Chain A
Amino acid sequence: MHPILTLVAQRLALGVLLLFAASILIFAGTSILPGDVAQQILGQAATPEALENMRRELGLNEPPLTRYLSWLGGILQGDLGTALTNGLDIAESLGARLSNTLFLAFWAAVISVPLAIFLGLLAVRYKDRWPDKLISGVTLTTISIPEFMIGYVLVYWVSIQFGWFSSVAIINDSMTIWQKLNAIAIPVMVLTLVVLAHMMRMTRAAILNVMQSAYIETAELKGMPMLKIIRKHAFPNAIAPIVNVVMINLAYLVVGVVVVEVVFAYPGMGQYLVDHVAKRDIPVVQACGLIFAAVYIGLNLVADIVSILANPRLRHPK
């Protein structure tokens, strides 16, 4: 087998292992922490019978290992359990919400990724001149504001003051794609702003790093025009770091989605998670937490694998 395939296979196996370990961590986070979980859920006024019922329902009388294994076993078969608050099947409730969340994240990615790379290139091209300074100034600002505040600032100015787009982003299946896109316009803007700054800064750093290599100087001393140097010598070496940047920021986008969904009352997974954290609905929290972790780990894994595949030393071993 080509050594690079071995490396990729190892990386994939490590990803699975990490996901498995993350599931333990999430489970432990909700069950081994100090304090009576049933008491926390029902509050101080709960009767002893109600507490006992709750403990039985949560399986708290079983040893943690047994509970973990049955939980994991269920997940592997696609059974995420039932919600405590309304007794509905979690997998069913999640399905539609997950696709809503992916819809939102997808459009944010479609806009932010090319924009960030373009701005990153622009900043490198005009390094230390006004376009670079303007871009880093604006990105510094967006990095310094939490995403929900960017949300309200945009709603206040764009939606309320100018009357463009809707200030809530409620979508349903009967809407056309255009209605949906109109509804999510502002949330997409917020998410774009949130990841754009980081992605653009990291892209800029990655390209600059490549541009400072000795082989770029070699190309320059061959009398090559700058654009050609970027295209022929910088770009092939910058792909891996840029893909890395994009993946890390898409992973970050996944987290940004949680807050943005709450701001715009968007019926996605993030809002579902936050609602049920407040209601202390542990099975839902565990299921959502695991899915978010899986997406996050998966995207980081893709970044790692792209780096491996793009490395000429690994692709063409001695």
Chain B
Amino acid sequence: MSETLLKVRGLKIGATIYPPDEKSRDIDIVHGIDFDLAPGKVLGLIGESGAGKSTIGLAAMAYGRGGVEITGGSVEVNDRDILQSGIRDVRHLRGAEVTYVSQSAAASFNPAKKILEQVTEAAILHGKFSRREAEERAVVLFGKLGLPDPENIGQRYPHQVSGGQLQRCMTALALCPEPDLVVFDEPTTALDVTTQIDVLAAIKEAIRDTGVSALYITHDLAVVAQVSDHIMVLRMGEMVEYGTVDQIINAPREDYTKALVSVRSVQHEEKQPTPHPVLRVEAVNARYKGTSFDVLKDINVELHLGQTLAVVGESGSGKSTLARVITGLLPPSAGKITFAGRELTPDLASRPLEDLRELQMIYQMADTAMNPRQTVGTIIGRPLEFYFGLKGAEKQKRIQELLDQIELGTGFQDRYPAELSGGQKQRVCIARALAAKPRLIICDEVTSALDPLVADGILKLLLSLQKSEDVAYLFITHDLATVRAISDSIAVMYQGAVVRYGPKSQVLSPPFDDYTDLLLSSVPEMRLGWLEEVIANRKMESAGN
């Protein structure tokens, strides 16, 4: 075996795009990348969206997804340039020497076939193992990856196992043919944080035990720090920095890398509760029409003027449902909600305009939160017109003030949402909420869809607006780092109930209840050895019990 398993030189990748009403044109996604990967090593590829990291990963299999084409350079696997190989040779490479783990295992498994058949398929196809050997190997891998009942889980269909389990099955699928290299493409991004840590640990262990090399692609530096030997930081198709994990995390050289490492620089002093809360939720239960179980159980929380209550939980915890209940989209089945001293009516239709105005909402996906056929001026101007009857020059003046407040300046009024970047879109949504002069804004995962640096900017903006406008935020999120950064009080939700609630300092200090402990300890931290520490701690605890 040679010293380098994967040798990439001057890799250039392009694509043809077809913008509506325009001529199709070719664009470059990756502009000349060089790197080497030694056998048994793991290289982390990290970058924000559009950095070209997935595209580079797939290039190691000589594959371009949907119109993407490798336009230059060389990719050598085991000393053969796979870009110069014929389709037959490339087929022998894929699934035998190099395999792939995708972000969405649920979509990547064929729904009509049993898991075991799909896991063993490549190994049998390439003659690496006989069917019996491959199946035995799959069972061993299932066990190694911590799947329950490894003997029989392969007999199930993909939809019959959970998302976290299926992601492990996908890893087994990639490892089954004993490849030299596995490309992991954001394998834990779609998972909840408490599931992510287990899958991450399982992947790491499997990589170590099988001695396979890996390209690990992710946008999360804390995650990649746990599994990689080296890290390559990418930005807009170019390499920013390459180094060992230790060097990148502890002594980054480039400004961009420094920014990525020190993200969540936002600091926020916890405020004391006031005697009169702006929002009080008392003993609220809720269920969806036609179902017979409560999705919210006995919720009691308070929020004070000019402060932030963070509602934190994983998918299915009921945190977004709580927002729907407060806004009146889903009337509660029991309990009452008091807002600014008045009791809110259960459903939206019966609420006075004043209540609607003072309670605004900002969404996770700024893309779908703005009508694509309206200009920024119309979007921000509508609440001014609707609530305050502003018209003409007066309205224009106020729109400009709001645009200044969200740091967008002049010239944005006539633009359409499609002409804005992700961060700018979210800023416009903030301006639309502010235009109503609200007392409370519900922020539903407003930074989750954004790249970390952009998200940071949005959080800073929200905090400074809170100071100047004295507005309260009900901040719904799954991201504990965000919670730490901006909240005054925290409610931790699990399976429809609030399991822990109080001022930030209190909620985040021990002693913890089991779930909060699990949640807090599962958030990846940006330091070496964190994963091993947590896993070791957990093993000790469960042994102690």
Contact = CB atoms under 8 A, between A and B. Distances in A.
Direct contact of A and B (CB under 8 A): yes
A221 B113 CA distance: 17
A318 interface: yes
Contact of B160 (A215, A225, A236, A318): A318
Contact of A222 (B104, B109, B121, B156): B121
B100 A218 contact: yes
Interface in A193-235: 213-215, 217-225, 233
B363 interface: no
B159 A318 contact: yes
Contacts of B61: 221
A316 interface: yes
Interface stretch (B35-43, B91-99, B338-346, B418-426): B91-99
Nearest to A310: B112
Given A223-B93, A224-B95, A225-B91, A218 B159 contact: no
B165 interface: no
B307 to A, nearest CB: 43
Contacts of A233: 110, 113
Given A217-B65, A222-B125, A236 B112 contact: yes
A225 B121 CA distance: 13
B516 interface: no
With most chain B CB atoms within 10 A of its CB, the pick from A217, A218, A225, A233 is A218
Interface string B214-240: 000000000000000000000000000
B contact residues, range: 20 to 34
Contact of B63 (A220, A225, A313, A316): A220
B111 A223 contact: no
A142 interface: no
Nearest to B112: A236
A312 interface: yes
A316 B118 CA distance: 17
B108 A215 contact: yes
A237 interface: yes
A108 B372 CA distance: 48
B500 interface: no
B477 interface: no
B63 A221 contact: yes
Given A217-B65, A223-B126, A318-B160, A313 B111 contact: yes
A214 B107 contact: yes
Contacts of A219: 110, 121
Contacts of B111: 215, 237, 312-313
Contacts of A221: 61, 63, 94-95, 99-100
A236 B157 CA distance: 14
B102 interface: yes
A40 B92 CA distance: 77
User: Which one of A215, A220, A313, A318 has the greatest number of beta carbons of chain B within 10 Å?
Assistant: A215
A248 to B, nearest CB: 22
B390 to A, nearest CB: 48
A213 B90 CA distance: 21
A223 B95 contact: yes
B63 A237 contact: no
Residue from the set A220, A236, A237, A312 with the largest chain B CB neighbour count within 10 Å: A312
B122 interface: yes
A236 B159 CA distance: 16
Nearest to B107: A214
A223 B96 contact: yes
A224 B110 CA distance: 14
B110 A215 contact: yes
Given A223-B96, A225-B91, A316-B160, A218 B108 contact: yes
Contacts of B113: 233, 236
A207 B121 CA distance: 22
A217 B101 CA distance: 11
B122 A222 contact: yes
Which of A213, A316, A318 counts the most chain B CB atoms within 10 A? Answer: A316
Given A214-B104, A215-B109, A224 B65 contact: no
A236 B100 CA distance: 23
Which among B99, B104, B112, B118 has the greatest number of chain A C-beta atoms within 10 A?
B112
Interface string B349-370: 0000000000000000000000
A272 B44 CA distance: 75
B513 to A, nearest CB: 30
Interface in B302-354: none
Contacts of A316: 156-157, 159-160
Contacts of B100: 218, 221
Contacts of B109: 215, 218
Given A218-B100, A223-B91, A224-B125, A312 B107 contact: no
Greatest chain B CB density within 10 A among A213, A223, A236, A318 is at A223
A215 B108 CA distance: 4
A233 to B, nearest CB: 5
A223 B108 contact: no
Nearest to B58: A221
B112 A220 contact: no
Given A213-B107, A237-B112, A318-B159, A224 B102 contact: no
A218 B105 CA distance: 10
Contacts of B118: 218
A120 B63 CA distance: 26
A215 B94 CA distance: 15
A185 B100 CA distance: 54
Nearest to A234: B110
Interface string A234-268: 00110000000000000000000000000000000
A219 B121 CA distance: 9
Contacts of B122: 222-224
A221 B111 CA distance: 17
Contacts of A313: 111, 157, 159
A313 B156 CA distance: 11
B91 A224 contact: yes
A219 to B, nearest CB: 8
Contacts of A318: 159-160
Nearest to B123: A222
A214 B108 contact: yes
A215 B157 contact: no
Interface in A288-318: 312-313, 316, 318
Contacts of B65: 217
A126 to B, nearest CB: 17
Contact of A223 (B104, B110, B125, B156): B125
B102 A222 contact: no
Nearest to B177: A222
A225 B65 CA distance: 17
Nearest to B126: A223
The 8 closest A-B pairs by CB, nearest first: A222-B95, A223-B94, A214-B107, A223-B95, A222-B122, A223-B91, A215-B110, A236-B112
Interface of A: 213-215, 217-225, 233, 236-237, 312-313, 316, 318
27 contacts: A214-B102, A214-B104, A214-B107, A215-B107, A217-B65, A217-B102, A218-B102, A218-B110, A218-B118, A219-B110, A220-B94, A221-B95, A222-B122, A223-B93, A223-B94, A224-B95, A225-B91, A236-B110, A236-B112, A312-B111, A312-B159, A313-B111, A313-B159, A316-B156, A316-B157, A316-B160, A318-B160
Given A219-B121, A224-B95, 16 more contacts: A214-B104, A215-B108, A218-B100, A218-B102, A219-B110, A221-B61, A222-B95, A222-B122, A223-B95, A223-B96, A224-B91, A224-B121, A237-B112, A316-B156, A316-B159, A316-B160
